[in-house]
Structure 1
Amino acid sequence: MNHYTRQTLLQKIKDTHSEDSWNEFVEIYRPYIYHVIKTFGVKTDEIEDFVQNTLIICWKKLPGFNYEPDKGRFRYWLSRIAQYSVNNHIRKFNRRAELDEEIIIPTSLSPEIEEISDKEWKVFISKMAWDNIKDNLSEIARLSFSALMDGESMDSISERLAIPKNTISVNKKRISPKMFKEIQRLQRELG
């Protein structure tokens, strides 16, 4: 997958409605949208419908969307669309009238939505960073670091994987900077 900056990717979608660019957009942001919608308490069997609806709204709105970083983060715009999608369904409003209105990046979100958005973004970016670096690690390094990220103690990991605690510590010291660097790269590219 090519990693365009978010602005470049958004511009390609706006200018050409390029299928490849749209597919890349979906690959990058679909998991984030899924997790945001899940935090709104949507039933598991309905989440995918809301994700699809949110992506459809994005597809329609992106050609007229002007990203202005000083007015808000792009992920807030995505969270807002997801929130509209869920709220419109729950309140049974006339969807067409409300969705046809311009969705503006808010200068601020309600504290609850902003907290959800930021928390899910951190989880999303961390998972994506891990997925990007884990294939270049040995199996023991991957298993021990993954267990540490899941909150397992060094004693437990050492016993379960039959490796010395020192090996776990060394793996952590080697992988942590790679993880941090990849998270920073993704933050720059995706916002």
Structure 2
Amino acid sequence: MNEGLKTSETQLRTLKTRGSDGDWEGFYRKYAGVILSFCKKQGLDDFSARDVLQESMILLMRKLPGFTYSESKGRFRNWLLTLVYGKVRDARRRLIRRAEQPWQESPLSGEAASASVGEDLAEDEVESAWRMTLLEEGLKRLKRNPRIKSETMEVFEACVIHNMTIPAVAAKFQLEENNIYQIKNRLIRKLREEIEDLEQNQALPTPGSV
């Protein structure tokens, strides 16, 4: 197991048993961007997305210490998704109620609210949006990694994000094709590690009512 996953499991166990304010702050920084981005993919505005972030973190702090690890249950990612999406649905309901009451200031009209946030997505659509959010956050982490040069990241994005062919990327950056393959493969491995770190390798039980 790589060091990143060891750190994830250690962090999760620490939060469960004796997490300090610093531990929770680190956890917050780790997942804040993921949760905000996911909320906006579900049609929430920035204000509502930040409400969901705060509510999710408060609920997680309250519930996590009471959970017992179980290899037969879902991973932490699945538990967190369930928790966050429950708060997203609550936020949608609040937006609709505001939109239906014209004397209350609302960022959406009633019709717009129904179209934007009125319908719950199918489970597979929610899962797809969550996985895409993790992928985007993983890419952001790679970009922030001081060990990865900006040109190396540009090569990787040309291959993976923009779907350019290896010869085309080699010509654009004036590099040997073998170098392009090496960069692509190396950063794909690192991207997978970042996503696994966000998913957490440690299994947790599926929550009941959140």
Q: TM-score, normalised by structure 1?
A: 0.69
- 1:103-152 deviation digits (Å, cap 9, x = unpaired): xxxxxx922222222332233334334533xx334443333333444417
Tell me the matched-pair count: 167
If each structure's helix is expressed as a fraction of its own residues, which one has the higher value? 1
5+ residue gaps, structure 2:
95-121, 202-210
- 2:54 corresponds in structure 1 to 52
**Given residue 146 of structure 1, which amino acid in structure 2 is its aligned partner?**
E
User: What is the root-mean-square deviation in Å for CA atoms of aligned residues?
Assistant: 3.0
Contact 1:130 1:179 in 2 (8 A): no
Does residue 186 in structure 1 map to residue 199 in structure 2? no
Q: How far is the alpha carbon of 1:176 from its aligned partner?
A: 1.8
**Given residue 157 of structure 2, which amino acid in structure 1 is its aligned partner?**
S
Cα distance change, pair 118–153 in 1 and its aligned pair in 2 (3 A):
closer
1:70 and 1:25 map into 2 onto residues whose CA distance is: 24
Q: How far is the alpha carbon of 1:71 from its aligned partner?
A: 1.5
**Given residue 187 of structure 2, which amino acid in structure 1 is its aligned partner?**
M
Cα distance change, pair 149–45 in 1 and its aligned pair in 2 (3 A):
farther
5+ residue gaps, structure 1:
93-108
Q: How far is the alpha carbon of 1:69 from its aligned partner?
A: 4.1
Contact 1:35 1:120 in 2 (8 A): yes
Q: How far is the alpha carbon of 1:29 from its aligned partner?
A: 1.8
- 2:136 corresponds in structure 1 to 123
Q: How far is the alpha carbon of 1:42 from its aligned partner?
A: 0.4
Q: TM-score, normalised by structure 2?
A: 0.64
**Given residue 145 of structure 1, which amino acid in structure 2 is its aligned partner?**
F
1:90 and 1:40 map into 2 onto residues whose CA distance is: 9
Q: How far is the alpha carbon of 1:12 from its aligned partner?
A: 0.6
Percent identity at matched positions? 22
